[in-house]
Amino acid sequence: MRSKKVAIIGAGPSGLVTAKTLLHNWPSGTFSPVVFDARHEVGGLWPNQSPETNAQQSTGSPGTLDPYMRTNLSRFTVAFSDLSWESAFTQNNRQEAAHQANEIESEEFDLLVVASGYFARPYTPKIPGLEHFKGTGEVIHSSVLEKGRASLSTNTHTTSRGHTVVIGGSMSGVEAATALALRESSSRISTNLPVSSHSNNKVYHIHSRPFWTLPTYLPCETSNETVSFLPLDLAMYDLGRRPPGPVEYNIGPLSDEKIAKTKDYFRSLLGAEYEKYGHSQQQSSSAISDSQPEWVAIGNDYAEFVRSGGIEAVMGRVTSIHPKSDTRTASINIETAEGSRTLDNVTSMVMATGFTPFDSLSFLPKDVRSNLEYNKDDPFIPLILDKGGTLRSEIPDIGFVGFYRGPYWGVMEMQAKFLGKEWAKEHDTSVGTEAEAKDQSQRELLRNLRQPSTECRRGQFPMGDYVGLMETFAKDLEIELLSLSDGENRAGPVIPARYTHEKEDGEVRRTLDSLQAMSCQDHPTAQAAASLAVFRALHGTWTFTRTSAAGEQAETGTVAFIPRYPSNPTYDREYVLETRQEAVLAESQDLLVGGTVLRLSEASTGESSSRIGVYQATTDGDREIHQLAHSLHLTPFYREKEAGEYVIHAEGIHSNATDGPSARRLQYTFHFQGVSISEWECVELGDSHMEDGINADSQAQDRWRTVYKR
């Protein structure tokens, strides 16, 4: 049998997994794939480049993402089934791509795979005045905003810099607004701790539809009625959330019931306190239906920046921009549900307005695009495809892999397997009555989503039912889902490693073992997740009351946790604490007490994964000097009586503590409501020796008890 020559357009993850699948999943000689790409590097949007070598960032040319960008899903979802991250961490081999000659050649192939990606070109809407403002102010696309330091090139250090506006309400809008708010927060803190200036510059986030912002880790109940934090994808893509029976793939306009269920789920999960700031709701006077689907964005710090005023969210549409060439600023007109609004003194704009996929399809002949129902005016659904976005039965020799918006890696691997199965057939090319009817039904649902009358009922992603899509592919490919525990097939998260014929593969087993280990609360990853949950929720201002063990010497005041760029590269997050304390009986005397820094390392391995470090900072000229005061070690946390409420305990160990009778210990108790801390307290224990952490010697005497509230 002659090998079928397959041309694969695109050397990103989609093209690479397609080539690997066609070579490894069928007998040798079945397929002969050749991968083509416009760039020298393999990896598509994901080449492994350091910030220093990332030349494309400064030019804004397409291809390379921000080198500081981090995935917003867990390593279990952002992976292929047959390579565990544990193995990837130990492989440091760097593959150099071969140089491509700039020559035009012609070659014939039996089959074509379009794996050139959905995010082909950054999209910027046409807004009156925008082009003029580009000549006076600064306008960039969110894809070239370096999140690591969120610098805008022309005005990062100017004292006259005005407001920054981010336009766009999806993932990149929240990421960009948060990165810029952190830049503003950091710029207000000098080495002369704690806070040296209070700028009036603001970050405005303008979005046209309601959305929820989810932290990267969500609280989940475990089998022993404790609470553990899991990556949001493991929590949301849990098969246990689906109704009993076969899992159906849902596509098409969203129903009122589905919209209501999603809203109730987020409310119960995140809590009412968080909803005030992490849920940008449409106004009641809006002409849009109250049942409009709400989008989802992911960001740990967005809600707290909204709470603290670092970000002002505005729901509306920018209608015009009016540059002022003499001041290099602009006024921006916004149409909101309450009427028109104008923002003045705007010097920078970030267009978080997404990408268009049309460049990825431009090489296809016009008649082929026509048969695929190509629509150049709809970047949401540019093509009408069958079978999970892989084929059109009328053009069976052209397949698509990765032409998809949503959790990416698992779907494109399944798409590659599906194409290989279809193309490996030698004689049976008939569709079949049932399959043809299914294809026609899916086409009609997609066509319906293109209609203006149903546009407001579109979900955020046209193929948004990730769990249903993966299960449907598994059924078509006759893949039995790997269980995570004995007799429990329909439980646990949907991840690529559970959908494979290679049940005994060592890489698959390693991934599944790692996933199961996360359910243990003393696992480094679980500890790191809980530490991040605590650290994230401390952001902002708290009032406190401090009393002695005898109830005497009470003090009150406020403490603000102000985020800034980490001053030590070992850490991922950092707060400077601004404390104002006032004796209860004193006559309006405020005392500024500074010099405390909190740090967090988000690494999920090593001793630091379960610690938050509290440092005392002093200055030597323009240099900060930090000395560790104590570290927080988290201990098991339990659900309380009220639904959605639980506590996390931590023990604070002073850096100069000993194991003798004079050892000092701190007990922290963080009361959570959803993903927000509603109240927390710190108790300093006295001179009694403690052997077993916070549950030790009952005769240990409290020295001080400090209670913090919003």
**Token pair 């009016």 is at which residue?**
322
The neighbouring-strand residues paired with 555 are 546, 583
Residue that wins the pLDDT comparison between 628 and 469: 469
pLDDT band at 60 (very low <50, low <70, confident <90, very high): very low
CA distance 202 to 182: 11
pLDDT for the residue 194: 52
CA 116 to chain centre: 23
Between 548 and 340, name the one with better pLDDT: 340
**At residue 324, does pLDDT exceed 50?**
yes
Block residue for tokens 């689907």: 293
Q: What angle do CA 464, 65, 59 make, to 5 degrees?
A: 135
Domains and CATH numbers, the chain: 4-121+356-517 (3.50.50), 122-355 (3.50.50.60), 524-709 (2.40.128)
pLDDT tens profile 265-309: 999 999 999 999 999 876 554 444 456 788 999 999 999 999 999
Q: Among residues 476, 464, 463, 468, which one has the least CA distance to residue 422?
A: 476
Residue 589 has pLDDT above 70, yes or no: no
Q: What is the largest CA-CA distance in the chain?
A: 94
pLDDT at 586: 43
Residue 161 pLDDT more than 60? yes
Q: With a threshold of 0.75, does the pTM exceed it? A: yes
Average pLDDT, stretch 528-556? 88
The alpha-helical segments, DSSP class H, found in 91-217 are 130-134, 171-187
Give dist(CA 317, CA 26) in Å, integer. 51
Residue 408, token pair as written in the block: 């990416």
Rounded percentage of the chain residues whose pLDDT exceeds 70: 81
* Residue 373 to residue 118: CA distance in whole angstroms: 16
The amino acid sitting at 291 is: S
d(CA 323, CA 345): 10
What contacts 119, CB < 8 A, 6 or more positions away?
45, 355, 357
Residue 429: predicted pLDDT: 53
Q: Which of 635, 117, 150 is nearest to 402 (CA)?
A: 117
Grade residue 415 by pLDDT with cuts at 50, 70 and 90. very high
Integer angstrom CA distances of residue 219 from 231, 261, 497, 646: 9, 18, 23, 10
State the Cα–Cα distance between residues 62 and 464, nearest whole angstrom.
Answer: 25
The mean of the pLDDT values for the chain is 82
Tens of pLDDT, residues 98-113: 457 567 788 999 999 9
Structure confidence at residue 638 (pLDDT): 60
CA–CA dist 650, 351 (Å, integer): 41
Of 138, 232, 195, 201, residue with least CA distance to 577 = 195
Confidence tier at 153 by pLDDT (50, 70, 90): low
Least confident among 61-75, 147-161, 412-426, 595-609: 147-161
One-letter amino acid of 338: E
pLDDT at 61 over 80: no
In single-letter form, the type of residue at position 406 comes to G
- Asked if pLDDT for residue 51 goes beyond 60, the answer is no
Per-residue pLDDT of 442-494, as tens digits, reads 899 899 888 888 877 888 888 889 999 999 999 999 999 998 876 666 788 99
R_g of the chain, CA atoms, integer Å: 28
- Using CA atoms, how far apart are residues 154 and 459, in angstroms rounded to an integer? 37
Percent of the residues in the chain that have a pLDDT greater than 90, as a whole number: 44
Question: Which tokens hold the place of 377?
Answer: 């005016």
- Indicate if the pLDDT at residue 637 is higher than 80: no
DSSP sequence for 209-272: S-EEEE-SEEEEE-TTSBEEEEEHHHHHTBGGGSPSSSPPPP-SSPPHHHHHHHHHHHHHHH-H
- What is the residue type of 292? Q
Going by C-alpha positions, the residue among 620, 606, 149, 152 that lies closest to residue 347 is 152
DSSP per-residue codes, 511-560 = HHHHHHHTTSTTSHHHHHHHHHHHHHHT-EEEEEEEEETTS-S-EEEEEE
Indicate the pLDDT class of residue 418, thresholds 50, 70 and 90. Answer: very high
Helix and strand element counts for the chain (H, E): 15, 27
Residue type, 199: S
Q: Count Cβ atoms within 10 A of the Cβ of residue 456 and give its class: 0-12 exposed, 13-18 middle, 19 or more buried.
A: middle
**C-alpha of 197 from chain center:** 31
Alpha helices by DSSP H, listed for 332-371, are 366-371
In three-state secondary structure terms, 176 is helix
Pairing label, strands 121-122, 355-356 = antiparallel
Rounded Cα gap, residues 45 and 402, in angstroms: 12
What is the DSSP-derived secondary structure letter of residue 194?
A: S
* CA quadruple 157, 158, 159, 162: dihedral, nearest 10: -110
Phi and psi at 652, nearest 5°, equal -100, 125
Q: Which residue has the higher pLDDT, 315 or 637?
A: 315
- Give the residue-averaged pLDDT of 62-87: 79
Residue 659 has pLDDT above 60, yes or no: no
More confident residue, 52 or 362: 362
